[in-house]
Amino acid sequence: MSAPLPFHTFLFDLDGTLLDQFDAIHQAYAHTLPQLGLPAPTPAQVRAAVGGGVRNAMLKFVAPNRIDEALAIYMPYWNATMLAGAHLFPGARELLADLHARGAKLAVLTNKAGHSSREICTHLDLDPLLDGVFGADDTPWLKPDPALVTHVLARLERPAAGTVLVGDSIFDVAAAANAGLACWCVTTGTHTAAQLHAAGPARVFPDLPALHAALGAGPASSIT
């Protein structure tokens, strides 16, 4: 028997939390910036830039007056190549399937574009397990704006009490704090355990199997 769940609703970040699409993200930046006369970024530079939405990330590399020019190159390339190499992190499907079977409401809440988010979730066959996929451009807001969480919970017809946001970045921690949610983090994305602990989530795990174990199922793994 599984233990009772501590939450009735789980909002999952996408990149760095449920799935790894980083190679495609890096390649899109490496394709775009040289066409603007700028050096191709390293993977480390891209990893440090992402998390706050593509426009905010691109502004780490280009001047504000060139952002629209950059995105006009980036977006068509991204739309054509984003599925290449995309894969779920170990334990992601098992976690979602178990929570779904135990009656939890599950949704994706990401700063990735909504249409891209839905396409990748469909590609990875997550749709049967999710009650919604909410991304950038679906609303006027991005994480960590609390209005985004309020909107999503209204669509899901669930209260903030009993909801947890699962993510990998300080944007996720701030989004949860601003909206009065619990926050659990994994270190499979953009931020280290030390950086996440400093931001103040309720718990930090090395990976999704460890988080799953803390919910009363899944293989045992160390918890930080």
- Whether residue 207 sits in one domain with residue 168: yes
Q: Is 134 inside a domain boundary?
A: yes
Q: Is 199 inside a domain boundary?
A: yes
pTM recorded for the entire structure: 0.87
For the beta carbon of residue 77, count every other beta carbon within 10 angstroms.
17
Structure tokens at 162: 């009993």
> In the predicted model, what is the mean pLDDT of residues 141-151?
96
In angstroms, rounded to a whole number, what is the distance separating the alpha carbons of residues 182 and 174?
11
Structure tokens at 198: 């400093």
Q: Is 219 inside a domain boundary?
A: no
Q: What is residue 9's predicted lDDT score, i.e. its pLDDT? A: 98
Q: Which tens digit of pLDDT belongs to each residue from 186-209? A: 999 989 999 999 999 999 999 999
Structure tokens at 171: 């944007």
Q: Which tens digit of pLDDT belongs to each residue from 33-91? A: 999 999 999 999 998 898 778 899 999 999 999 999 999 999 999 999 999 989 999 99
Task: Give the end of a domain, one of 51, 81, 111.
Answer: 81
CB of 25 within 8 A of CB of 33?
no
Helix (H) or strand (E) holding 94: helix 92-101
- Whether residue 60 sits in one domain with residue 128: no
Q: Which tens digit of pLDDT belongs to each residue from 4-39? A: 899 999 999 999 999 999 899 999 999 999 999 999
pLDDT at 142 over 80: yes
Q: Is 222 inside a domain boundary?
A: no
Q: Is the peptide bond before 219 cis (omega within 30 degrees of 0)?
A: no
Residue 15 bears catalytic tag: yes
In angstroms, rounded to a whole number, what is the distance separating the alpha carbons of residues 55 and 33?
14
- Whether residue 187 sits in one domain with residue 100: yes
Structure tokens at 42: 């390293």
Structural domain containing residue 128: 9-20+87-214
